[in-house]
């Protein structure tokens, strides 16, 4: 059976080159191409590919942002012109990565790796995608069938709930699969403080802090919400605010 493959890149010529190279592999079948993260997301839902070739920097939704939205991501081979240094970050998580200009020999190695991995009985664990070097200025979430981009400035607070995080904004709350600690790591630590095991707040949203039971406080936010503040959370908050 042929393995369905998607090529995702915003440069048409880069897609064509891969298409041309992949003709040499009868085990793979190109099931489609996408030019940005949104298109790619839709196409992946439709086609359920076994493997995608993915460029990182793309219009509207970057490669990483798109991957984070997928419940069961396919095997990923990154194709990028980034230098080795930047690549180190995602080397460990992706199946492989190809540096542009892509050489057929290097592609052969990557495809071989995929075919070996996709043999029956070698199910892949869900990889955790690396965080970008810069702090995220936005979060992409699934809102029913569409993808919504939430600018960091629109976030009122973020709440942990089981395997999900709940992002509260002025236009409603959105669920996203993931942990709060990962969200903390992705966002700017000078803007967002984890005040509690289950709460992450933007410092700009803080109106006041009032004592609550022993060793704990309540933070009153501008939006009217009250969230718990733990002892260590208060210490972190004080550090960021310079109290």
Return residues touching other proteins (CB under 8 A).
10-14, 16-17, 20, 35-36, 38-39, 57-62, 81-83, 99-102, 134, 137-138, 149, 151
Between 153 and 241, name the residue whose CB sits nearer to other proteins: 153
Between 98 and 219, name the residue whose CB sits nearer to other proteins: 98
d(CA 214, CA 211): 8
CB of 103 to other proteins, least distance (A): 9
Structure tokens at 2: 């042929």
Between 7 and 158, name the residue whose CB sits nearer to other proteins: 7
CA distance to 8, 122, 151, per residue, from 206 (Å): 41, 48, 18
d(CA 217, CA 200): 14
β-pair partners for 161: 164
CB of 11 to other proteins, least distance (A): 5
Between 62 and 205, name the residue whose CB sits nearer to other proteins: 62
In 3D space, the residue among 34, 81, 72, 26 whose CA is nearest the CA of residue 53 turns out to be 34
Instruction: Please list, in sequence order, all residues whose beta carbon lies within 8 angstroms of the beta carbon of residue 204, skipping any fewer than 6 positions away.
Output: 191
Between 51 and 139, name the residue whose CB sits nearer to other proteins: 139
CB of 242 to other proteins, least distance (A): 24
CA distance to 3, 68, 173, per residue, from 104 (Å): 19, 29, 46
Between 11 and 128, name the residue whose CB sits nearer to other proteins: 11
CB of 134 to other proteins, least distance (A): 6
CB of 172 to other proteins, least distance (A): 16
CB of 163 to other proteins, least distance (A): 27
In 3D space, the residue among 38, 18, 41 whose CA is nearest the CA of residue 30 turns out to be 18
CA distance to 148, 169, 202, per residue, from 152 (Å): 13, 10, 9
How many residues are recorded in the chain? 243
């Amino acid at each position: 059976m042929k393995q369905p493959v998607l090529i995702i890149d915003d440069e048409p010529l880069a897609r064509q080159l891969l298409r041309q190279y992949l003709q040499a592999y009868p085990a793979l079948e190109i099931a489609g191409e996408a030019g940005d993260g949104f298109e790619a997301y839709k196409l992946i839902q439709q086609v359920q590919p076994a493997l995608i070739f993915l460029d990182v920097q793309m219009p509207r939704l970057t490669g990483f942002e798109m991957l984070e939205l997928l419940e069961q991501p396919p095997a990923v081979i990154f194709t990028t012109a980034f230098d080795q240094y930047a690549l180190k970050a995602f080397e460990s998580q992706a199946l492989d990565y190809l540096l542009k200009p892509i050489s057929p020999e290097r592609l052969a190695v990557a495809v071989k790796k995929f075919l070996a991995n996709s043999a029956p009985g070698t199910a892949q664990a869900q990889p955790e995608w690396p965080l970008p070097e810069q702090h995220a200025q936005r979060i992409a979430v699934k809102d029913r069938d569409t993808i919504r981009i939430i600018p960091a400035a629109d976030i009122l607070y973020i709440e942990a709930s089981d395997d999900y995080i709940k992002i509260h904004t002025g236009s409603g709350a959105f669920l996203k699969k993931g942990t709060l600690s990962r969200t903390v790591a992705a966002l700017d630590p000078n803007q967002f403080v984890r005040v509690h095991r289950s709460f992450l707040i933007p410092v700009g949203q803080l109106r006041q802090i009032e004592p609550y039971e022993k060793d704990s406080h309540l933070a009153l936010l501008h939006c009217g919400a009250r969230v718990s503040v733990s002892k260590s959370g208060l210490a972190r908050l004080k550090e960021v605010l310079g109290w």
